[in-house]
Amino acid sequence: MQRLARRWQRAGMRVGLVPTMGCLHAGHLSLVHRARRLVGRRGQVVVSIYVNPTQFSPQEDWSRYPRDLARDTRLCREADVDVIFAPDDEQMYPRGEFGAFSTFVVEERLSRGMEGKSRPTHFRGVTTVVAKLFNIVQPELAVFGAKDYQQAAIVKRMVRDLNFPLKIVVAPIQREADGLAMSSRNRYMVGELRAQALALRRSLAKARAEVRKSARPIPATRLKAELKRFIERAPAARVDYVEFFEPDTLVPVPSVTRGTQMALAVFLGKTRLIDNARL
């Protein structure tokens, strides 16, 4: 992959990367289309497919995370992807003559709250694997989805802080017809769980409505409690967090106004879904 990337660079081709964990859906394909528009017909679009073990804790769903490389390959062909980079664990985290893999990339400020608090080792795994993908594929730009709002902010900070020579593009959230944010984990939402999962989207709409009708800033603690009760009216729903914060710095805010960013994580049975919106 690195040799191919260098060959493209020598030929003056633009290279766009879409990092994924596979089990592709229309949300992923929207990122591919965005990358193609940005690099042009003569450019190269690379989709990486790798379920990264270092961003999962032992009790999370790494072993059962949906995988279907044959289907992903077909979708990538249809979407005009030039190269699929699908390494295995030994290639990404080699043992070799020096022993076990032992070098990680850690962002220490934006990763403290929300996903970082609920999943303490998650972002260390994300930043490490993304840094490796950038070094391997050597893209001019990489496209991420806005559903993982905190992740996109952390990757942008890593690129700035470590002087990676590429641009990070964050594309809008893609949603199902009923408003649920597209996710590979949505396939776990069957039967009643699927209907109950809409509590995430409805809570965002409720928060927007509260902000719109309020003449004054709303205390964040009050709105969090109200939304938690609203979401957990769905029998299978359990709120992990609801957070309100500054969009650029991710610093939590004491009161909620227009322009505040909201993010939440909710368990539906054993499946954890996330979503976010600017209020």
Element (H, E) at 205: helix 199-213
Among residues 25, 28, 33, 122, the one annotated as catalytic is: 28
Any idea which residue has 């003449």 for tokens? 215
For residue 174, give the DSSP letter: P
Any idea which residue has 């902000």 for tokens? 211
Task: Examine the residue annotation and report whether 25 is marked as an active-site residue of this protein.
Answer: no
Any idea which residue has 């594929």 for tokens? 137
CA distance 146 to 274: 11
CA dihedral 207, 209, 214, 219 (to 10 degrees): 0
CA distance 171 to 36: 13
**φ and ψ at residue 224, rounded to 5 degrees:** -60, -45
Which two tokens mark 186? 């949505």
Kindly list the catalytic residues: 28
